[in-house]
Amino acid sequence: MDNRQAIGSWLSGPRAAAEQAGADFGYRGEQLGLPQEGPGSIARPGRRLGALAVDWGLCLLIAYGLITDGYDQATSNWALLIFFVLGVLTVGTVGFTPGKRLFGLRVAALDTGRVSPPRALLRTFLLCLAIPALIWDRDGRGLHDRLARTVEVRI
């Protein structure tokens, strides 16, 4: 016998199947005490990736134009170093990078709201490793944000 409901839940994914079973997940950021929408809500992945692309492009442009003589592996290595310095300095002082500001995002500490330089250092170091940023929790925070106890929110 064909059970269309079981196939539909499998195609919809584990979250839809759990919601059908009665689990209540709420919205992203609810467990953190953040609003569902508007300023202060969890930043969506599209905006975060856009901001990351702008920041990486800026760092690549700086490395290509000021440090190296052409585009090669050294340019990418310098761009990563510039990205690290940019992230630590800007997130640790004003709470956002140029790309985050362009996309209306900022990084906030969960307990104080302001990111201290040591937290910015840890967060940016883990972000440069890339793997922690690819592991997300149900609130949409990467492992780098969880370990640094920060969250990326909309302005």
The secondary element (H helix, E strand) that includes residue 107 is strand 105-109
Please state the pTM of the whole predicted model.
Answer: 0.83
Return the residue matching tokens 């840890």.
122
CA 114 to chain centre: 17
Angle, alpha carbons 75-93-38 (nearest 5°): 100
Are the CB atoms for 29 and 151 separated by under 8 Å?
yes
- Supply 126's token pair: 């883990």
* Number of neighbours of residue 124 by Cβ within 10 angstroms: 24
10-residue mean pLDDT series, the chain (155 residues): 54 64 75 90 94 97 91 93 97 97 97 94 95 87 94 95
Q: How confident is the model at residue 139, as a pLDDT?
A: 87
Q: What beta strand segments (E) does the chain contain?
A: 105-109, 150-154
